[in-house]
Amino acid sequence: MPYSSGWGGVKVENQAIIEAEGLTKKYGHQIAVKNLNLQIREGEVFGFLGPNGAGKTTTLLMFLGLTEPTSGKVRVIGFDPTRDPFHVKEKIGYLPENVGFYDDMDARQNLQYIARLNRIPDKISSGRIDESLKVVDLLEEVGKKVGTYSKGMRQRLGIAEVLIKEPQLIFLDEPTIGLDPDGTNRMLDLIHSLGREKNITIFLSSHLLDQVQRICDRVGIMIKGDLVAMGPIEELAKKKLGVDKEHYTLEEIYMKYFKEA
């Protein structure tokens, strides 16, 4: 297991890896995130749901320390991302929506650049680059310029890039958006295996419900900046659709919340 050791971070068993308390972000008069309370345990795959513009990306950016919260507290892997973004960024991976690469470099050069920014010595990083390219199944394409990659390949390369720094926690912002069915399946399997086999905590934001249902342990539903529900999917189903209902989809639950909001 290449990712089983050497993270060096704060190792805690089943403890909250993300903690948010009363987290609020305003842009002028517009409230993007309203009084968010949230706890993510180590090792879980969390699905963060909501329509476009619900404040999912803003929340992610606050967790990363790229945006300052207007009020409230956050702790990510034991650090405050606003005060101490350096330590947070060292140990978490972030895959933005529609991630970009330097198109005139090949896959290895792109990953190497990120490795250098993370101060990983070249000796160690070249092994890790091979490893993570293998995980995302891109080893054969490694010599091609990234500009020629398909959307699915770019997204998988994005995952490889995140794996380079051996993170404890990965934020994925709409990782399957714009992918064809095959690409989506590969992506989901990949995310699933990262969570299960490598025990990386995964925080996934999406509005594609059936996918989230397939791979997530717990979900949170955010609508217009409000976190309206949080918990395992079965629990939410019981609460919203009635105890007796056997076959439910996340979509039903979601629509119920959406209409109420």
Partner 1 sequence: MEDHFSSIRFLLISALIVMVGVIIASMVGMGIQEESKGMAKPTFLFLWLFTSTGKLFSFVQFIGFFGPLIGIFLGFDSINRERVSRTLSKLLSQPIYRDAVINAKFLAGAAVIAIVLVAIVLIISGLGIRLIGVVPGSEEVLRLAIYLIASILYISFWLGISILFSVIFRSTATSALASLAVWIFFSFFISLGAGFLADAMAPIGQSGAGMDPTLVVKHEQVQRTISLLSPMTLYSDATTTILDPMRKTTRSLILMGPLERLSLSRFQSPLPLLQSLFIVTPHLVSLVAITFLCFGICYLVFMRQEIRTV
Does residue 160 bind partner 1 (CB under 8 A)? Answer: no
Closer residue to partner 1, CB minimum distance, 90 or 252: 90
- Return the residue of 22, 83, 102, 260 that touches partner 1, per CB under 8 A: 102
Give, as ranges, the residues between 213 and 252 that touch partner 1 (CB under 8 A).
Answer: none
| Burial of 92 per CB tally in 10 Å (0-12, 13-18, 19+) | buried
Residue type, position 86, single letter: F
The reply on whether position 161 binds partner 1 by CB under 8 A is yes
Angle between helices 107-117 and 122-135 (to 10 degrees): 130
Cβ closest to partner 1, residue 6 vs residue 181 = 6
Question: How many angstroms separate the CA atoms of 147 and 143, rounded?
Answer: 12
Q: Does 17 bind partner 1 (CB under 8 A)?
A: no
Give me the 111-150 binding string for partner 1, x by CB under 8 A, dash otherwise: ---x--xxx-------------------------------
Q: Does 57 bind partner 1 (CB under 8 A)?
A: yes
Q: Which of 56, 75, 89, 156 binds partner 1 (CB under 8 A)?
A: 89
Q: Is 48 in the site for partner 1 (CB under 8 A)?
A: no
The one among 96, 126, 240, 258 contacting partner 1 by CB under 8 A: 96
84 binds partner 1 (CB under 8 A): no
Helices (H), the chain: 56-64, 85-91, 107-117, 122-135, 151-163, 181-197, 209-215, 233-241, 250-260
State residue 7 phi and psi, 5-degree precision. -80, -30
Residue 72 tokens read as 């409230």
Task: Pick between residue 172 and residue 237 the one whose CB is nearest to partner 1.
Answer: 172
Instruction: Yes or no: say if 179 and 151 are a contact pair by the CB < 8 Å rule.
Output: yes
User: Binder to partner 1 among 49, 61, 170, 187 (CB under 8 A)?
Assistant: 61
In whole angstroms, give the CA distance from residue 100 to residue 33.
26
Whole-number Å distance between alpha carbons of 241 and 258: 14
| Contact set with partner 1 (CB under 8 A) | 57, 61, 64, 66-67, 86-87, 89-90, 94, 96-103, 114, 117-119, 161
